[in-house]
């Protein structure tokens, strides 16, 4: 079965290369019994892929079950997965088969597998290695022929480093990885999904479908969609029900997007990922940008001064321009003497002196000044000062010690 046929059969919408790659891997691995680990953010549609794998495999006539590991309490997860014997714990009035026993010969999908307790991870590892398990309260070893497909929306290698997930289990699960991309990595699919959800809502609630005008489309495509497809569907349904106007502009759409969305936009600096920048480097970037803005403003005023010289306008206007230039000098606060070139006569009674400012590039001193001002403003309260500076209180404390700030 080709990728297009799979999309049509399972109702998958999109033409993204990353999406097609994920579907292609699922199609190829379906014919085997290899364990698959699906990774991707919440709301990206990871639940479609174990169904694709099961339906295209030789187990398609066997049972299929999806288990949300994060929704089952820690005290009962072993019983749910592996079963229990009568009297093995309070409330166990009779023996019960677990999912691995019930789905024998089929496929089990373990969603949010990283939420499993460590003790359950040990049991799962044994199933993966030998197909054996033991019911809770029993000593009898049972066998199961079950294919395991797992999924997680968290960074499992990070969970391993913090001791929350077993490394050996990760390697057993991750035999074949499938990455499901978030919406922001498949922007070409966002509008297609919106139209589908708008059409479904119109049919469901018996109303004309909503449509996006140009600026609305741009906002829709450029938004980060932290909740991915699930969030897009919910917002589309909200707008379909609430808005009387069927033509949706960016002004209308933005009312339905979370107010904190601006904090989720990536900070891009020279095309690099800001994850590699420290707090100090980001502060330096801001200072460099401020310096550049001030210098650009100086050049603009300098050009105005030159125009005034050629046009021979009134001295009052020249005085205003000169005062503006002096104000900019005060803002930039040069820390080295201003080097003056010989005076140039502009008009009869006005002399404007072109200047070359060589500002100090000591960012450390500027950082110290910012910290001192913040501490003075908040009367020495470090918590408030740190918030004002946009850094953590711990970082502020370290900087105070490092710079020996009183």
Domain boundaries of the chain, sorted by first residue: 3-181, 184-264, 279-356, 363-403
> Does the domain at residues 184-264 carry the CATH identifier 1.10.10.60?
no
Residue-wise over 154-178: b if at least 16 C-beta within 10 A, else e? bebeebbeeebbbeebbebbeebeb
pLDDT at 404: 82
| 250 neighbors 216 (Cβ within 8 angstroms) | yes
3-state secondary structure of 141: strand
Helices then strands (H, E): number in the chain?
Answer: 17, 15
Would you tell me how many other CB atoms lie within 10 Å of the CB of residue 100? 27
Residues of the chain where predicted confidence (pLDDT) is lower than 70: 259-363
pLDDT at 403: 80
| 216 neighbors 248 (Cβ within 8 angstroms) | yes
Class assignment of domain 363-403? mainly alpha
pLDDT at 119: 94
| 330 neighbors 359 (Cβ within 8 angstroms) | no
| 121 neighbors 130 (Cβ within 8 angstroms) | no
Element (H, E) at 356: strand 355-356
* Alpha carbon distance 230, 241 (integer Å): 17
| 351 neighbors 341 (Cβ within 8 angstroms) | no
Please state whether the predicted TM-score (pTM) of the whole model is above 0.85: no
Q: How far apart are the first and last CA of the chain?
A: 72
The CATH number of 3-181 is 3.40.50.300
């Amino acid at each position: 079965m080709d990728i297009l046929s799979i999309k049509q059969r399972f109702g998958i919408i999109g033409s993204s290369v990353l999406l097609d790659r994920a579907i292609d891997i699922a199609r190829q691995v379906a014919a085997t019994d290899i364990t698959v680990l699906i990774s991707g953010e919440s709301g990206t549609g990871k639940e479609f892929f174990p169904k694709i794998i099961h339906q295209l495999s030789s187990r398609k006539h066997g049972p299929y079950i999806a288990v949300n590991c994060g929704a089952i309490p820690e005290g009962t997860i072993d019983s749910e997965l592996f079963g229990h014997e009568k009297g093995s714990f309070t409330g166990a009035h009779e023996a019960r088969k677990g999912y691995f026993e019930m789905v024998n010969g089929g496929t089990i999908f373990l969603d949010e597998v990283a939420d499993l307790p460590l003790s359950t991870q040990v049991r799962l590892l044994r199933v993966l290695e030998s197909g054996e398990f033991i019911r809770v309260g029993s000593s009898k070893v049972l066998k199961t022929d079950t294919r395991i497909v797992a999924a997680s929306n968290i960074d499992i290698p990070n969970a391993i480093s913090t001791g929350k997930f077993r490394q050996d289990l990760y390697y057993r699960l991750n035999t074949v990885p499938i990455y499901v991309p978030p919406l922001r990595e498949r922007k070409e699919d966002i509008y297609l999904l919106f139209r589908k959800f708008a059409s479904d809502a119109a049919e469901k609630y018996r109303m004309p479908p909503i449509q996006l005008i140009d600026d609305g489309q741009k906002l829709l495509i450029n938004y980060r969609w932290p909740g991915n497809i699930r969030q897009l569907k919910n917002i589309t349904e909200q707008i379909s029900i609430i808005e009387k106007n069927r033509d949706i502009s960016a002004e209308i759409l933005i009312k339905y997007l979370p107010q904190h969305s601006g904090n989720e936009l990536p900070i891009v600096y020279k095309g690099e990922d800001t994850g590699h920048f420290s707090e100090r480097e980001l502060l330096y970037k801001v200072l460099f940008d401020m310096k550049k803005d001030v210098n650009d403003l100086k050049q603009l005023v300098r050009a105005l001064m030159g125009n005034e010289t050629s046009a021979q306008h009134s001295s009052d206007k020249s005085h205003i321009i000169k005062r503006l230039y002096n104000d900019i000098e005060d803002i930039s606060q040069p820390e080295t003497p201003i080097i003056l070139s010989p005076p140039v006569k502009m008009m009869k009674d006005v002399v404007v002196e072109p200047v070359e400012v060589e500002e100090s590039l000591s960012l450390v001193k500027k950082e110290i000044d910012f910290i001192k001002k913040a501490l003075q403003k908040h009367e020495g309260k470090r918590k408030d000062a740190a918030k004002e500076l946009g850094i953590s209180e711990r970082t502020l404390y370290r900087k105070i010690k490092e710079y020996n700030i009183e």
